[in-house]
Amino acid sequence: MSNAVRIGILGDFNPDFRSHHATTDALQHAARKIGLILESEWIPTSTLTADGAEKILESFDGLWASPGSPYKSFDGMLKGIEFARHRDWPFLGTCGGFQHMVIEFARNVLGIKDAEHAETNPYASRLVINPLSCSLVGKALNIRITDLSSKTYALLQQTVIVENYYCNFGLNPEYQEEIHQNGFRVVASDEQEEARILELEKHDFFIGTLFVPQMRSTPDTPHPIVTGFLKAIINTYNQ
């Protein structure tokens, strides 16, 4: 790691998306709070299927799968996630990032090769990500931390949090238990016990949130999950 921590944001930056500006801002909020110099760069998903993509990913100290699906390259996003999971790279995914982390895990760990996302392939037979019963776009809702041994609880130190959503899709409950039992653990859920935060076991930091924590970050109060992401990067390079 150089003097500055470098974060690669996987996604296709759109200046009209508040969540994209919030992602960049939240990283700076957390970095300043803990005294880090931080550089962030958006990595277009189309570049992640090209030759040399692995070298690009290796140049960053941590990776964040941004909101904003459907991405220009579905396969590119999955490639970036697979890289981080295999390499134990510090990784955070929010909203669409969470959804694609689930699909990557279903395809490459559970062997569900035809796992699909209802947003991009609504008539597929194995919709691991399907439409939510009602849209959560623009809503702030309670989330219950169910695993008190999780990294998430250690970061938040609360059993109930309120977070902002910008999504219409989530983990299909039919696959939730299988994913949980195979190591991508559901550590927080909504009132219907549907997954809202996932953590990969035996990984230093690989967390997905269906909500968008960066929308609640401010310079004075960075979001604890984002701060924890940066601290995990520091710990990785101090080992």
DSSP the chain: --SSEEEEEES---TT-HHHHHHHHHHHHHHHHTT--EEEEEE-GGGGGSTTHHHHHHTSSEEEE-S-PSPS-HHHHHHHHHHHHHHT--EEEETHHHHHHHHHHHHHTS--TT-EETTT-TT-S-EEEEE-SS--TT-EEEEEE--TTSHHHHHH--SEEEEE---SEEE-HHHHHHHHHTTEEEEEE-TT--EEEEEETTSSSEEEESS-GGGG--SSS--HHHHHHHHHHHHHHH-
| pLDDT value of residue 136 | 84
- Residue 11 Ramachandran class (φ > 0 left, ψ -120 to 50 alpha, else beta): left
Q: What is the pTM of this model?
A: 0.96
| pLDDT value of residue 79 | 98
**Average confidence (pLDDT) over 90-119:** 98
pLDDT band at 2 (very low <50, low <70, confident <90, very high): low
238 has a pLDDT exceeding 80: no
Spans of all domains in the chain: 5-238
β-sheet with 140-145: strand ranges across? 38-43, 5-10, 62-65, 91-94, 206-209, 195-200, 184-189, 140-145, 160-164
Domain 5-238 has CATH 3.40.50.880: yes
pLDDT digits 0-9 by tens, 165-219: 988 999 999 999 999 999 999 999 998 899 999 999 989 999 999 999 999 999 9
**Average confidence (pLDDT) over 35-46:** 97
